[in-house]
Each structure stands twice: as C-alpha cells, then as structure tokens.
Amino acid sequence: MKIPLRLAKREDLRIIGVEPVAEAELCSRTLELMGEFRAFARSFSVMLETCTGCGACAKACHSYLGTDDFFNIPAARAGLLRRIFSRYFTWSGRVLGRFSGAAEFGPGTLDSWVDYFYQCNACRRCAKFCPFGIDTGEIVLAGRTILTRLGRAPAFMVNIARNELTTGNNTGILKPAIIDSCSFLEEELLEETGLEIRIPVDKPNTEILYLPSSSELFVNSDTLMGAAKLFHYLGVDWTLSSTLLEAANYGLLFDLDVMKKHNNRMRIAATAVGAEKVVMGECGHGWRAAKMYSEGANGPFPFQLTHILELVTERLPDLNLTKLPIRATLHDPCNYGRGAGLVEEPRKIMHACVEDFTEMTPNRDRNFCCGGGGGLLMDEMTEIRMELGKEKSEQIRRLLPLDYIALPCASCKAQFPLLLKHYGMGEVRTGGVLDLVGRSLVLNRQQDERTSPQDCLGG
C-alpha cells in the first residue's frame, strides 16, 4: 500500500547534515550504506541471511493484522531489503539471482522501502515470535537510516530532529517560553494543593537533572506536575534544563548519527547544572536510546542515568500514597517492554496508586503496540495509524468499562485518545503513570476527602 508520507525537502535535510544523493548514484550509494551496516553490526547480516519464510511472525505483527497487506508481514517487509542484500552481498544471490529470492536494485526499490518501513512501528514484537529471533524492527531502523542518508526522510522527523539539535527539544521552544510555561504550571500546582511547588529551570549545583517530554509543558502537563509533586514531597534538589528539555530522541527512529548527537546533549546539560543523576521522564523510545546506546556511544558519563519510574519504585516505601478509587489498566510501551526492560516498575506503582488495577492480555513483552510508536505521529499518517492500532483497540475493548489507561510514553499519549474515538470506546481518561503518582500522593488534607474517579483524576 502506498502511504501519504510527506518527505523532507533537500534544504531541510542539509540542516541535519544530510546531502541528498543524485539519482544516478542511488544504487551504488545504497549498496555502500548496506555494506557499512554489515561491517558495523554482524547481526544485520545474520538477520538478513537466516529467515526461512516459516511465517510465524505474521500474526505477531499488529501492522499486518490491522492492514491485511502482505508486505506488512514482518518477513515480507524485511524481505524488501533482504532481497537486495542477497543479490549483492551473498554468494547464492550473485550466482542464482532471483531463483534464490534475490532482486536487482531498481527504480521502485526505495519507494517500496519508504512505504513499508514507515508502516512499521519498530515495536520488535515479531522478534519474540520468530524461532531465530529475527528482529524486523531493527532491520527497519537500519533501512530507515539508509533512506535518510540517501535523502528520503519524513519531513515530520527531520523537523523534529532539527529542533532537537538546535534547541534541545522536539517543539523548538526557547528558554523564555519554557520559564513561562513552568510558572503557569506552578500556579496550577498552588491552586490544586495550596503548596508552593517549584519547577526549576537551569538551577545550578543540582542533584537531579530531569528530562521530561517537552509535550508535558503544554498537553500532558499532569505528567510533569506529577514529577514536580514527587520531587517536592521527597525534598529532592532538581531542575529542568532549557538546553535539553526532551527525553525523546528521534534519531533512533530514522538516523543514528542524529541519535548520537542528541544523546551527547545529555552530557553537556548535566555538566552545566552539576547533576549527579539524570532522570529520564516518560518516553518509550527516548529511554531506549538513552539506556541502551548513550553510554556506549557517548560515554562514560560522570552521572548516573535512571528512569523516573525506577526512581518512584525505589522510593515507594517513603511515599504516602492513597489508592485512587478507579479501575485502570497499563499499556506497556514497546520500548520499555521489549527495548529496555522497564516492565515491573510501572506495575508496582499502579498497584500502589489505584484500587482496581487490571492487566491487558497480552502484556509486558508480548503487548501489542498502539500504532503510534516508531515516530509515526505525523498528521498525514493518522488514518494508517488507526489501522495499526486495531489490535490495541480490541485489547482495550475487552477491559471496558475503564476509568483510566496509564501510558508512560508521549507517543502513546498522543495516539490513544484518537484510537478510543476512532473505535467508539467512549470516555476513558488517558495519561501517564506519573500523573497517578501525583494524584495519589498525599500532600494535603483535601486529597484524603476525594471519593469519585472524577474528583481524583482532576475533573
């Protein structure tokens, strides 16, 4: 299926350091880039040479289940790259050609990569069901990086990467606007709790540098306010940074050089405020990019790196939490469950914060992606994203009625409300796990008097 993805203009690509490749050189440059991946990661060749075509991955993929498009079967999706690799990098492909499943690089090759690599959420669920552990999500991310280096990258991702590299956040907001938003949220906190709870920016000599998702300043502000309440309660010295106000790292999703550059901002921002600890906020792929790749590529770091949900779990015995009288479930972001092992912590927190916590089936590392991961949040992909979210919507429908769906990832927070509306599932509140911590934390007497779900979720 052809997708309506808007690609970046040449001049915008140059801003992120990419010089688009001339038409006549596309084949040779593609092969060169594939050769670089092959030399860089042995797993790249192994995964491309091992598939037996058994088909066990087909029903594991929500993208295939939602679209019913053959090339969204993980093996077929990876096959678009595999057959080119086979033709130019394997003995059987060179000698037997198409009889061995190999194919020549042709005029439609890169178009098919764009269409199918961007209908994959890079959720890695297929790897859990493949007998050889072939990780089509990883093949797709390599394929996307090759496409970017050739000059074919989504305009949406290039804009975000440009903002990340120039301002340190996805939305491109600058320090005065950051300070204004934090002051506004401090007023909200004062009104809600009667307490002067601060959200400091660039505070020097601070123990913790906290990296939220920049969207929390505007749309998911209950998540940031949850963090502010937690730090206030614990008496922790913390700050945000105006030069790195972003847990997300879009480079992981389309260009590994951009990922490395964005990760390096962490060292600079943490050093500037003298932080001993960098605490990452609720962002699935951002946590994976930081935890799995930052120390190796940019380290060693002079600070400890942890996730806010790990920190909350560690401090649970110190927190006075009241269980909210709601029925809630938890969606495991793919990059926590299958990317960076953050699985039991959110559950421990949910059990501590709500009276009726119910699990989705399947869950943890078998959970289905919501269709919003892998950087597919661009407007032009909304219709396709609804198809990619079909399996998730069925998981949710089986749990209704629900008061709350906890989504500890900014991409899931953007996707879920649209899914619930699209599939006619009525009014269910969505938000972070940290939002619930903020609502459950007993900071003053009024909170003890809340009895209805509306009261305790803030109306």
The least CB distance from residue 333 to ligand SF4, in Å, is 13
Strand, helix or coil for residue 73: coil
The least CB distance from residue 81 to ligand SF4, in Å, is 12
Nearer to ligand SF4, 77 or 429 (CB): 77
Any idea what the Cα angle at residue 88 is, between residues 83 and 92, rounded to 5°? 75
**Owner of token pair 């906020």:** 281
The least CB distance from residue 411 to ligand SF4, in Å, is 14
Nearer to ligand SF4, 126 or 158 (CB): 126
Cβ pair 125, 368 in contact under 8 A: yes
Nearer to ligand SF4, 130 or 275 (CB): 130
Q: How far is CA 28 from CA 76, 99, 316, 408, in A?
A: 24, 23, 56, 42
The footprint of ligand SF4 (CB under 6 A) covers 51-57, 60-61, 63, 74-75, 77, 120-126, 130, 132, 134, 136-137, 140, 369
Backbone angles phi, psi at 430, to 5 degrees: -125, 155
The least CB distance from residue 213 to ligand SF4, in Å, is 22
- Largest Cα separation within the chain, whole Å, is 77
Nearer to ligand SF4, 72 or 169 (CB): 72
The least CB distance from residue 443 to ligand SF4, in Å, is 40
Inter-axis angle of helices 136-150 and 109-117, to 10 degrees? 130
Nearer to ligand SF4, 53 or 204 (CB): 53
Sequence-distant (6+) residues with CB within 8 A of 185 are 199, 217, 221, 224, 225, 228
Nearer to ligand SF4, 366 or 422 (CB): 366
User: DSSP for 390-428?
Assistant: HHHHHHHHTT-S-SEEE--SHHHHHHHHHHHHHTT----
- Alpha-carbon dihedral of residues 88, 90, 91, 97, nearest 10 degrees? -50
The least CB distance from residue 47 to ligand SF4, in Å, is 8
Residue 442 tokens, joined: 């007993």
Nearer to ligand SF4, 126 or 436 (CB): 126
Nearer to ligand SF4, 61 or 258 (CB): 61
Strand partners, 211: 280
Strand partners, 7: 154
The least CB distance from residue 365 to ligand SF4, in Å, is 12
The least CB distance from residue 89 to ligand SF4, in Å, is 18
